[in-house]
Amino acid sequence: MIEFDNVSKTYPGSPRPAVAGFSHRVHRGTTTVFVGPSGCGKTTLLRMVNRMVSPDSGRVLVRGEDIGGGDAVGLRRSIGYVMQHGGLLPHRTVAENIAAVARLSGAGRVAARERAAEMLRLVGLDPALGSRYPTELSGGQAQRVGVARGLVADPDILLMDEPFGAVDPVVRRGLQEEVLAIKESTETTILMVTHDIDEAFRLGDEIVLLGEGGTVQQVGSAEDFITSPATEVVREFTGGDARLLSIREHEGQQVLVDRDGRVRGVLE
């Protein structure tokens, strides 16, 4: 669905490449999470998919086609994008912010408004919030609006750049639930970026752990990372032995289970 083929990017004036020789394939209908420390090239990689950044070398294929030479505007409209810092226009209402994206994809005024309300409901917000301005929203609400905007054109690909960065852990968990529900209810291929390994483990079917310059440290499922970390560095990043325990629901109680499936305790 999305293929990075040996892409590199050095920003003008920068001594080191932001991304050096990165290759990876994102499969249709899956959720892939790029995780790694700040500055390791996650945003750069994500923006290569909708051509907001062009690689200096290598190529990116989307839906089987090299996007290098094609129509950048059409490509961008066909891909949902939730920006790292929300990216809502401050002088437009919430509904206008969302509807504007639907309008760009060809919806009429009325249809775009209806669709905006529908998207607000989808991300768990009251459509009445549509008449507010972005500054009148809480951090969690604003992030939900960002997701609503990313989904409004019904894209088959959704890019999300640290979509839940600015919210407290409880709200964050609620938003993650929302993404899990969207994953269940749509066929959307999601490529998401985070620096939070727990978020990556919760949401990613496949997780790509990146180091400096977009170097791949390990690729796999959450289980792969936890049960067989590729290196000592990966083991430390993913929390080492602490992660041998996971939480499961059992007859209405939350129990701690180790990696062999043995129950180690019950949470109060």
Which residues are near Mg ion by CB under 5 A? Answer: 43
Shortest Cβ 211–Mg ion spacing (Å): 15
With CB under 6 A as the contact rule, the residue among 6, 23, 27, 39 that binds ligand ADP is: 39
Residue 38 in contact with ligand ADP, rule: CB under 6 A: yes
The residue (of 44 and 50) whose beta carbon lies closer to ligand ADP is: 44
User: Residue 6's Cα: distance from chain center in Å?
Assistant: 22
Q: Which does 185 bind (CB under 5 to 8 A by kind): Mg ion, ligand ADP, none?
A: none
Residue 41 in contact with ligand ADP, rule: CB under 6 A: yes
The residue (of 39 and 70) whose beta carbon lies closer to ligand ADP is: 39
With CB under 6 A as the contact rule, the residue among 20, 26, 33, 42 that binds ligand ADP is: 42
Shortest Cβ 168–Mg ion spacing (Å): 20
Query: Which stretches does DSSP call E strand in 10-147?
Result: 19-26, 31-35, 57-62, 65-66, 79-82
The residue (of 36 and 80) whose beta carbon lies closer to ligand ADP is: 36
Q: What is the total count of residues that contact ligand ADP (CB under 6 A)?
A: 10
Distance between CA atoms of residues 97 and 176, nearest Å: 22
Distance between CA atoms of residues 146 and 41, nearest Å: 22
Phi-psi region of 221 (alpha: psi -120 to 50; beta: other; left: phi over 0): beta
Binding mask 6-35 for ligand ADP (x = CB under 6 A): -----x--x---x-----------------
Residues in contact with 135: Cβ distance below 8 Å, sequence separation at least 6, in sequence order:
90
Shortest Cβ 89–ligand ADP spacing (Å): 21
How far does the chain reach from its first CA to its final CA, in angstroms? 44
User: What 8-state DSSP symbol labels residue 127?
Assistant: G
Which of 232, 206, 231, 237 shows the shortest CA–CA distance to 220? Answer: 206
Distance between CA atoms of residues 123 and 180, nearest Å: 11
Binding mask 82-121 for ligand ADP (x = CB under 6 A): ----------------------------------------
Amino acid at site 140: G
Q: Contact residues for ligand ADP (CB under 6 A)?
A: 11, 14, 18, 38-44
